[in-house]
């Protein structure tokens, strides 16, 4: 049981579930319940788990300070085991994605390379957050067809993710210094706050453009409020609030897409 719990923490189950939920909602909405949809979901799941395994193994020194409760710092899973799991699952994910449409396979390969580059490269906070946001955005054209509606839905999720990534870098800066990673510049809190405020406005655009039904409105109002609150909290340097309100905002956005996105 300890091993199972440790594995769930290793793959960051909450974040993996959010990623797979995005792909499942849009893939089934656009392609129906088909082999293609199933392969899309499975390949995304395997990629997500593999990247989180690599990231956990890479972040051992940081996590010993910031997140000592995670499975690798606790010794429940070794760095070698995490890397092996990641390699095996990524290989299987590539095989599944190769059965998809060519554009989906291409997006999968690009996303895999970008994600691996983020994990193993020492890049600055803002660039890292931008690439992470790009990866979140690619989930939408990977699952559906690229049009203005898909672009907007992707931005609704990617922009808060960009801001949230930098906020978390402020929290993790003591551990990042051990790995010689530069903390976010102090002025970037204004960029983060602006991005949350911008996201709060963009969530309304699908309604103004008549891309959604009225079922979209109630849950997206919650997303809007979460973005506004995070914009204010960041200005007060309450970066830890991103964990709570970021999660609520993400879930309510997915509910909005599911209820009113068709």
pTM for the predicted model, two decimal places: 0.87
| pLDDT digit string, tens, across residues 172-212 | 776 555 556 677 888 999 999 999 999 999 999 999 999 99
Residues 109 and 136 in one domain: no
- How far apart CA 93 and CA 108 sit, in angstroms, is 9
Residue 230 and residue 200 share a domain: yes
Residue 112 domain boundaries? 1-121
Instruction: Look at residue 262 and tell me whether its pLDDT is greater than 70.
Output: no
Percent of the chain with pLDDT over 90: 65
Note the pLDDT tens digit of each residue in 57-84: 887 676 666 677 778 877 778 889 889 9
Average pLDDT over residues 89-116: 95
User: Is the same domain home to 131 and 117?
Assistant: no
Which of 121, 148, 180 is the C-terminal boundary of a domain? 121
Q: Are residues 129 and 219 in the same domain?
A: yes
Q: How far apart are CA 128 and CA 130, in angstroms?
A: 5
Neighbours of 60 (CB within 10 A): 15
Contacts of 57 (CB under 8 A, 6+ apart): 72, 79, 82, 83, 86
Same domain, 80 and 172: no
- Looking at the structure, tell me whether residues 1 and 113 fall in a common domain: yes
Q: What's the mean per-residue pLDDT of the chain?
A: 89
Whether residues 157 and 257 share a domain: the answer is yes
More confident residue, 11 or 197: 197
For residues 79 and 59, the answer to whether their CB atoms sit within 8 Å is: no
């Amino acid at each position: 049981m300890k091993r199972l719990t440790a594995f769930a923490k290793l793959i960051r189950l909450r974040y993996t579930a959010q990623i797979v939920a995005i792909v499942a909602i849009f893939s089934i909405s656009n392609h129906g319940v088909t082999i293609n949809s199933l392969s899309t979901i499975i390949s995304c799941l395997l990629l997500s788990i593999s990247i989180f395994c690599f990231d956990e193994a890479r972040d051992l020194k940081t996590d010993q300070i910031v997140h000592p409760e995670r499975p690798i710092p606790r010794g429940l899973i070794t760095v070698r085991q995490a890397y092996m799991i990641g390699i095996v699952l990524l290989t299987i994910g590539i095989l599944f994605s190769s059965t998809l449409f060519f554009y989906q396979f291409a997006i999968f390969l690009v996303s895999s390379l970008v994600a691996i580059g983020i994990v193993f490269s020492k890049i600055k906070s803002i660039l890292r957050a931008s690439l992470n946001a790009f990866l979140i955005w690619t989930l939408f054209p990977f699952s559906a067809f690229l049009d203005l509606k898909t672009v907007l839905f992707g931005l609704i999720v990617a922009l808060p993710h960009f801001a949230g990534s930098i906020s978390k870098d402020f929290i993790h800066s003591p551990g990042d210094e051990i790995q010689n990673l530069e903390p976010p510049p102090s002025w970037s809190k204004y960029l983060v706050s602006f991005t949350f405020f911008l996201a709060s406005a963009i969530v309304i655009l699908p309604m103004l453009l008549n891309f959604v039904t009225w079922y979209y409105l109630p849950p997206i109002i919650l997303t809007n409020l979460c973005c506004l609150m995070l914009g204010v909290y960041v200005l007060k340097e309450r970066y830890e609030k991103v964990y709570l309100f970021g999660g609520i905002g993400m879930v309510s956005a997915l509910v909005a897409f599911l209820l009113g996105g068709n």
